[in-house]
Amino acid sequence: MTQSIPPILSRSIAWKGAIADVLLIALLSGPVAAPFLTAMGVFPLPLIASIIYFMGDHVCPQPEMSLMLHPPHLMAVCMRCYGVLLALLSCRLLVWRDRGTGFYWLHQYRFTGAAIATLLTAGYLFEMLAEQWGWWDYHNLIVTFFGALTGWGIGLFIAPLLYQQKPQLFD
pLDDT (tens digit, 9 = 90+) per residue, 50-62?
999 999 999 999 9
123 touches 150 (CB < 8 A): yes
pLDDT (tens digit, 9 = 90+) per residue, 92-101?
999 999 988 9
Q: Report residue 164's pLDDT band, with 50, 70 and 90 as the boundaries.
A: confident
pLDDT (tens digit, 9 = 90+) per residue, 54-87?
999 999 999 999 999 999 999 999 999 999 999 9
pLDDT (tens digit, 9 = 90+) per residue, 128-147?
999 999 999 999 999 999 99
pLDDT (tens digit, 9 = 90+) per residue, 15-40?
888 899 999 999 999 999 999 999 99
State yes or no: pLDDT of 8 exceeds 70: no
Q: Report residue 169's pLDDT band, with 50, 70 and 90 as the boundaries.
A: very low
Q: pTM for the complete prediction?
A: 0.86
| Helix residue ranges, H only, 41-109 | 45-59, 79-98
- What is the residue extent of each domain of the chain? 7-170
Neighbours of 107 (CB within 10 A): 17
Q: DSSP string covering 65-78, please?
A: G--EEETTEEPSS-
C-alpha to C-alpha distance for 80 and 53, rounded to whole angstroms: 16
Query: Is 146 strand, coil or helix?
Result: helix
145 touches 84 (CB < 8 A): no
